[in-house]
Structure 1
Amino acid sequence: MTAEPVTAPAPTAPAPTASAVPYGRIVPVTVHFDDLDALGMLHNARYPLLVERAWSEFWQDNGVRFDGDWASAGDACNVVRELRIGYEVPVTRSGPYAVHLWLERLGRTGLTYGFRLCSADGGTTYARGTRVLVRLDAATLRPTPWSEAFRAAGRALLRPAD
């Protein structure tokens, strides 16, 4: 029995605009040669890393950043409560891709965001998942409410109810 290689579409399309998706935001990311495993596929641990980089870029563009001081980190002082990811099509080449980001739920002290690692044009989904975050008070490490500025930026990403 001979196994046939699984190949994914080449990532050659230009990056989509934010209006290319009905909700959320598309953030371009790059898969580098050293992100691929011995089989020539994007290593499973790299998917969440690419998603994290996309979210970091989004939040930094909206004034949320961590500069090394937890006491003044504000909304950047948060922890992951849960991460779920499903792999749909292997990424088999380095190059330009994108992460589609959105919020499923924006609560008082927590949120659930959704994501897709996709082709640069948003047309092919390689992986999708959700992650639950909880904002913490830096002094007590207990849940604390998101700031209004954070909530305003987050509301712009909320996925409409089906």
Structure 2
Amino acid sequence: MSVTTADYGFLEPQTVHFDDLDGFGMLHNSHYAVLAERAWVAYWQRREVAFSRDWELLDDGYNVAKELLVGFDLPIGRPGTYGVHAWVERLGRTSLTYGFRVCSEDASLTYAHGHRTVVRLERTTLRPTEWSGRVRELCQDLGRPASSA
């Protein structure tokens, strides 16, 4: 899948498969968050920041979810390629909150929207620890402009 662009943040294509649909033929509610998570993982993998196959090299990828909120706008009722538009809402010392929209491939139609907050952990103590300078650098270009809020 190729990566497309957005006015802010990034737009990542994601595939909805037939087996993602529920008994009513609609994308199961839990899968909207999965699409958003997969979009973020793809973003970080392309930048070689996190999600190494070697668990010892996780660094910034060693984090846990603190909060997840999803609001549903329209049902997705068929398999195919959709988009996830994502951006940074807040980057704290140890936490990161990103906003997202599960949308049409061209981002013109929103199916769901929300945000997710993660906290970076130190691997041995499991205590919150600061994000690296590399993550801070990458997040600078992902913020949503104040006029888009």
TM-score (norm 2): 0.92
Q: CA deviation at 1:62?
A: 1.2
Identity of aligned residues (%): 50
Count of paired positions: 145
Match of residue 45, structure 1, among 30, 37, 50: 30
Query: 1:97 is aligned with what amino acid?
Result: Y
Equivalent position of 2:129 in the other structure = 144
Structure possessing the higher radius of gyration over alpha carbons: 1
- Report 1:26-45 matches (<5 A): 26-45=11-30
Equivalent position of 2:52 in the other structure = 66
Query: 2:53 is aligned with what amino acid?
Result: D
Q: CA deviation at 1:144?
A: 0.5
Equivalent-residue separation in structure 2 for 1:99 and 1:147 (angstroms) = 25
Equivalent-residue separation in structure 1 for 2:122 and 2:12 (angstroms) = 29
Equivalent-residue separation in structure 2 for 1:73 and 1:91 (angstroms) = 33
Match of residue 77, structure 2, among 92, 101, 109: 92
TM-score (norm 1): 0.85
Equivalent position of 2:87 in the other structure = 102
Q: CA deviation at 1:16?
A: 7.8
Equivalent position of 1:77 in the other structure = 62
CA RMSD between the two structures: 1.4
Q: 2:4, 2:13 within 8 Å by CA — same for their partners in 1?
A: no
- Report 1:6-25 matches (<5 A): 17-18=4-5, 21-25=6-10
Q: CA deviation at 1:72?
A: 2.9
Equivalent-residue separation in structure 2 for 1:68 and 1:34 (angstroms) = 30
Match of residue 110, structure 2, among 125, 135, 152: 125
Moved beyond 3 Å, runs of 4+: none
Equivalent-residue separation in structure 1 for 2:54 and 2:75 (angstroms) = 35
Q: 1:42, 1:91 within 8 Å by CA — same for their partners in 2?
A: yes
User: What per-residue deviation string (whole Å, max 9, x for no partner) do you get for residues 72-124 of structure 1?
Assistant: 31000000000000010000011010000100001111111000000011000
